């Protein structure tokens, strides 16, 4: 598959993912009558559903990373060249921003609105490390043991992580940067982005270390002695 085709798939997938994240947050708040739990449920379900569809459709073209830490992990595992990995990350970041602007446009909101939602502190950072650790573990071990189930595995994990992490599981640097451009339910203050991204990178590195142990080949049986 040619690199331009892969990059187009990454752009479309990442942009639509962010449109789903932000747009469903807006719709959830609008229709939930102030019930944040119901709004989060709608947000999580829409995100998981969109992820499943996008991975199934675009995975055969680009691998459906939609996430710089996933791309970096694939680079570290030798599955991407440095040039391709950098191109993927640049496209993911620009597409994530485009997806947020698209969501704003669909709901007739100001296109540019720096985030105001406070998401900072040790519990939030720990949550992002855990969310990203689990996401990378799901992807890499899923590809090893159940490759056909990866879309459902990733969608299921993200749906769950929305609820069991204090940060509602961004687990994606491009998503984090883009969500700093919205004041809606899905937003984050620009000042809080660096802490989230650092925690996500730490979680990804821990996941790769865990995978090396969990997926290590079994030692060969000892040769019989006379």
CATH number, domain containing residue 112: 1.20.1080.10
In a domain, 194, yes or no: yes
Average pLDDT over residues 141-165: 97
Question: Number of structural domains, the chain?
Answer: 1
Token duo for residue 103: 């969501």
**Residue 51 belongs to a domain:** yes
pLDDT digits (tens, 9 = 90+) for 86-124: 999 999 999 999 999 999 999 999 999 999 999 999 999
Looking at per-residue confidence, does 113 or 220 come out higher?
113
Give dist(CA 161, CA 4) in Å, integer: 32
pLDDT, tens digit (0-9, with 9 covering 90-100), for 68-87: 999 999 999 999 999 999 99
Residue 203: inside a domain:
yes
In whole numbers, what is the pLDDT of the chain averaged over residues? 95
- Residue 73 domain-assigned (yes or no): yes
Q: Tell if the pTM clears 0.85, that is, is over it.
A: yes
- Tell me, yes or no, whether 224 lies in a domain: no
| Domain span at 86 | 3-214
The confidence score (pLDDT) of residue 215 equals: 82
Distance of alpha carbon 97 from alpha carbon 175, whole angstroms: 8
pLDDT band at 1 (very low <50, low <70, confident <90, very high): confident
* 117 part of a folded domain: yes
Please compute the mean of the pLDDT values over residues 200-224 and round it to a whole number: 82
Inside any domain, residue 225: no
Would residue 226 count as lying in a domain?
A: no
């Amino acid at each position: 598959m040619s690199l331009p085709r892969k990059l187009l798939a990454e752009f479309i997938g990442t942009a639509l993912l962010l449109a789903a994240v932000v747009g469903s947050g807006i719709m959830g708040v609008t229709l939930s009558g102030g019930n944040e739990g119901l709004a989060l449920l709608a947000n999580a379900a829409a995100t998981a559903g969109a992820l499943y569809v996008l991975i199934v459709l675009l995975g055969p073209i680009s691998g459906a990373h939609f996430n710089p830490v996933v791309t970096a992990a694939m680079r570290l595992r030798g599955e991407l060249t440095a040039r391709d990995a950098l191109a993927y990350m640049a496209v993911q970041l620009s597409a994530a921003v485009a997806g947020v602007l698209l969501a704003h446009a669909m709901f007739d909101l100001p296109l540019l609105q720096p985030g105001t939602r406070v998401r900072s502190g040790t519990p939030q950072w720990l949550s992002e490390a855990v969310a990203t650790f689990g996401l990378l573990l799901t992807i890499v071990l899923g590809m090893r043991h159940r490759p056909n189930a990866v879309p459902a595995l990733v969608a299921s994990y993200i749906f769950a992580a929305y609820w069991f992490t204090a940060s509602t599981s961004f687990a994606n640097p491009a998503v984090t940067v883009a969500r700093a451009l919205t004041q809606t339910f899905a937003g984050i203050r620009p000042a809080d982005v660096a802490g989230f991204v650092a925690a996500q990178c730490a979680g990804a590195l821990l996941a790769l270390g865990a995978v090396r142990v969990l997926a290590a080949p079994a030692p060969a049986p000892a040769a019989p002695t006379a």
